[in-house]
């Protein structure tokens, strides 16, 4: 369902209100790390709108309406959400929808996540689903919105067109989002939330209110200093302003600097929504000039008018959604005015994020320019590559491996495996067995639990390479509890005896050279590794035999530099793949999902052109680190054949 028109002609009142005769539903949204605009709940949006009525340049304490959002504050002047405990700042926007759309009716569409709880769709998707539902369509294809999902209203399910995985979805009724028409009247005080008219006494509000008097004084001083020369011009008081505004506000200041001149009586301001033509309406502007916005666009003079242009862009590449760029310019900050670089999601910045973020909010409130940095998106994949450009890796045969359970040479029984790697000790030392925690001079703690011919409970053995000593019966118990692949691993120092194999489920590994360079390795091309493991059923070697396991995020793309060391790492990764050591089935440390395919302690670089998540380049220590991790799995460089 297309959004309302790409642009609206509105008065220049600091916030994007629709015209007087046009009602709109307001939805506030925040930008997550994947570049997706996620809606706040209807209750939170009502709270934000209430605060906005009282002070369009104030701060909104989200914890006043939702306890789960207690760390978050929205600064209305910079249009950013600030997390107090980490300093993370994310852009927010104020979006408009038709009153007859899903948010106007309080309809929420949600999908069931892996934890069994329900996650709401992005608002534009929710509107599209509701529109199709009301028209009684049997299904809906979301491909046009950039998602490979098919919605089936008969079964109330969502199907991934690539993996064919189905999830349940549901439609529920909630509070309708706030409806506005024309300009909103001012309320009595800020913050909102105390019916008695007394200010809120929560810590967040005390913190913000404690700075308001000082901020107002600084603001007045800065106005006199920065704009005093223009305020006295004859055309300033009677100036008329025009704005052409997109139907979304994304991360831009609610207040824009204005300036007057003796030869002009109005400003021409264009806020781009993907179109180049500026439109004007005549509306009065206050005689006082507004403080600097956090991102200061450049001012240019044309035909006696001052033109301020902020070009729009479509961040999500989806129809009907227009965003406003923050990264155009940061010039035009008046000399002598401090600018604070606020730490962003990349972890880069000269100051601690919490300190920088809070200082940024206070400086914004005081009218001082703050150089807010927008969370960049990770570059996960290289530019498109033709199949003919994918070349074999020099020195490595083939371009693909398939997982097959390696039939290693095993002992006839666990006792033979233990005897192969240990030397029997006649006189046990006076120390503990670190497996059963009994004294070595006494019987094994597994006495009576395990019965094996030829191994007495008091027998002690010393491992050949590392020399650590254990009850032989304890080593047998440890072997029986493992993969039973004919290898042993010392529980103290992790030295591996034999050839260790894992429990990686079946799949494919592909590797080839692509004609692009990684950051930090501009002198060579790149080795791309593609892992693909399908979902399946767990076997006896897995945590829950007979139960299904999931495989999220496949195929997974990983990258190495195509140099001598990178090829050496690839050879060892291929060996680890053959030994089924790259992945295992367990619980995801990221999502908490159990019975899913997870990495098995051998780190891979999954970001091609950036290092925002820590899984990319440049990283000068990565190749050495992964060689160490492979060696810990028994896949060392001594295994490579010259």
Coil, strand or helix at 432? strand
b (16+ CB within 10 A) / e for 97-129:
bbbebbbbbebbbbbbeeeeeeebbbbbbbbbb
Q: How far apart are CA 465 and CA 485, in angstroms?
A: 19
Give the residue from 217, 184, 158 showing the smallest Cα distance to 76. Answer: 184
Cβ neighbour number for residue 587 with a 10 Å cutoff: 12
Residues of the chain with pLDDT under 70: 1-21, 182-376, 404-412, 451-453, 641-642
Q: Going from the N-terminus, what domains does the chain have, and what CATH number goes with each? A: 26-96 (3.30.720.50), 98-183 (3.30.720.50), 414-495 (3.30.40.10), 501-639 (3.30.390.130)
Q: Do the Cβ atoms of 54 and 188 come closer than 8 Å?
A: yes
Give the residue from 362, 324, 323 showing the smallest Cα distance to 342. Answer: 362
The pLDDT of residue 237 is 36
In angstroms, the Cα distances linking 330 to 292, 373, 616 are 11, 11, 28
* DSSP code of residue 209: H
H-helix or E-strand containing 567? helix 564-578
Q: Which residues contact 457 (CB under 8 A, 6 or more apart)?
A: 443, 444, 446, 447, 471, 473
- For 367, phi and psi rounded to 5 degrees? 85, 10
Q: How does pLDDT run across 7-55, given as a tens digit for each residue?
A: 333 333 334 444 445 788 999 999 988 888 999 999 999 999 998 888 8
Q: How far apart are CA 332 and CA 300, in angstroms?
A: 10
Give the residue from 307, 200, 325, 197 showing the smallest Cα distance to 261. Answer: 307
The pLDDT of residue 617 is 95
Q: Which two tokens stand for residue 357?
A: 């973020």
Q: Do the Cβ atoms of 53 and 185 come closer than 8 Å?
A: yes
Q: How far apart are CA 612 and CA 35, in angstroms?
A: 14
Q: Is the preceding omega at residue 555 within 30 degrees of 0, hence cis?
A: yes
Q: Which two tokens stand for residue 580?
A: 């089924």
Give the residue from 451, 479, 465 showing the smallest Cα distance to 422. Answer: 465
Q: Which two tokens stand for residue 628?
A: 């160490």
The pLDDT of residue 364 is 62
Cβ neighbour number for residue 321 with a 10 Å cutoff: 22
User: What pTM does this model have?
Assistant: 0.46
Q: Which residues contact 87 (CB under 8 A, 6 or more apart)?
A: 343, 352, 353, 354, 355, 356, 357, 358
* DSSP code of residue 321: -
The pLDDT of residue 71 is 84
Give the residue from 186, 273, 243, 296 showing the smallest Cα distance to 16. Answer: 243
Q: How far apart are CA 234 and CA 250, in angstroms?
A: 35
Q: How far apart are CA 26 and CA 363, in angstroms?
A: 28
Cβ neighbour number for residue 261 with a 10 Å cutoff: 17
The pLDDT of residue 70 is 85
Using H for helix, E for strand and C for coil, what is the string for 148-173? Answer: CEEEECCCCEEEECCCCCEEEEEEEE
The pLDDT of residue 412 is 57
Q: Do the Cβ atoms of 54 and 187 come closer than 8 Å?
A: yes
Q: How far apart are CA 355 and CA 86, in angstroms?
A: 9
Q: How does pLDDT run across 44-99, given as a tens digit for each residue?
A: 999 999 988 888 878 899 988 888 898 889 988 888 998 877 778 889 999 999 99
Q: Which two tokens stand for residue 335?
A: 């000399």
């Amino acid at each position: 369902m297309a959004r309302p028109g790409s642009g609206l002609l509105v008065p220049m009142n600091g916030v994007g209100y629709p015209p007087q005769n046009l009602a709109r539903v307001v939805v506030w949204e925040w930008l997550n790390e994947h570049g997706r605009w996620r809606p706040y709940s209807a209750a939170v949006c009502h709270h934000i709108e209430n605060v906005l009525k009282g002070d369009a340049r104030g701060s909104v304490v989200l914890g006043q309406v939702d306890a789960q959002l207690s760390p978050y504050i929205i600064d209305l002047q910079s249009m950013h959400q600030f997390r107090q405990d980490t300093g993370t700042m994310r852009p927010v926007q104020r979006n408009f929808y038709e009153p007859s759309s899903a948010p106007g009716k309080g309809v929420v569409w949600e999908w069931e996540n892996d934890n069994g709880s329900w996650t709401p769709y992005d608002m534009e998707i929710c509107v599209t689903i509701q529109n199709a539902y009301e028209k009684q369509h049997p299904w809906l294809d979301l491909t046009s919105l950039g998602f490979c999902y098919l919605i089936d209203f008969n079964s109330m399910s969502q199907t991934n067109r690539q993996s064919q995985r189905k999830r349940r979805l549901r439609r529920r009724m909630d509070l309708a989002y706030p409806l506005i028409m024309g300009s909103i009247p001012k309320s009595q005080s800020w913050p909102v939330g105390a019916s008695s008219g007394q200010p809120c006494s929560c810590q967040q509000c005390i913190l913000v209110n404690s700075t308001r008097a000082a901020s107002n004084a600084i603001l007045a001083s800065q106005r006199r200093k920065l704009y005093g020369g223009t305020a006295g011009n004859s055309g300033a008081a009677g100036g008329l302003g025009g704005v052409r505004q997109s139907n979304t506000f994304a991360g831009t200041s609610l207040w824009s600097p204005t300036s007057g001149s003796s030869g002009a009586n109005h400003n021409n301001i264009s806020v781009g929504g993907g179109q180049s033509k500026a439109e004007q309406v005549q509306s009065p502007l206050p005689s006082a000039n507004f403080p600097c916005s956090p991102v200061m666009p450049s001012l240019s003079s044309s035909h006696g008018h001052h033109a301020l242009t902020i070009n729009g862009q479509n961040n999500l590449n989806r129809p009907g959604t227009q965003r406003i760029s923050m990264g155009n310019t940061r010039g035009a900050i008046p000399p002598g005015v401090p600018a604070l670089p606020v730490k962003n999601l990349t972890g880069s910045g000269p100051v601690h994020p919490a300190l920088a973020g809070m200082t940024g909010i206070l400086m914004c409130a005081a009218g001082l320019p703050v150089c807010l940095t927008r969370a960049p998106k990770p570059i996960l994949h290289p530019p498109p590559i033709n199949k003919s450009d994918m070349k074999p890796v020099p020195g490595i045969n083939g371009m693909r491996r398939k997982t097959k359970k390696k039939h290693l040479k095993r002992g006839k029984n666990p006792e033979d495996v233990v005897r192969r790697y240990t030397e029997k000790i006649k006189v046990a030392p006076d120390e503990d067995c670190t497996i059963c925690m009994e004294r070595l001079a006494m019987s094994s703690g597994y006495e009576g639990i395990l019965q094996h011919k030829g191994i007495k409970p008091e027998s002690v053995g010393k491992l050949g390479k590392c020399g650590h000593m254990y009850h032989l019966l304890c080593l047998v118990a440890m072997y029986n509890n493992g993969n039973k692949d004919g290898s042993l691993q010392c529980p103290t120092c992790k030295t591996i005896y034999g050839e260790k194999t894992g429990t990686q489920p079946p799949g494919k590994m592909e590797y080839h050279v692509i004609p692009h360079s990684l950051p930090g390795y501009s002198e060579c091309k790149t080795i791309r590794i593609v892992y693909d493991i399908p979902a399946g059923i767990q076997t006896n070697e897995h945590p829950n035999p007979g139960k299904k396991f999931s495989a999220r995020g496949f195929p997974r793309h990983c990258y190495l530099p195509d140099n001598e060391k990178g090829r050496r790492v690839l050879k060892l990764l291929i060996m680890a793949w053959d030994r089924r050591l790259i992945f295992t089935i367990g619980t995801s440390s990221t999502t908490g999902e159990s019975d899913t395919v997870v990495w098995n302690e051998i780190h891979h670089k999954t970001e091609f052109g950036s290092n925002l998540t820590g899984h990319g380049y440049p990283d000068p220590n990565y190749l050495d680190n992964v060689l160490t991790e492979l060696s810990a799995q028994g896949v060392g460089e001594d295994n490579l054949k010259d």
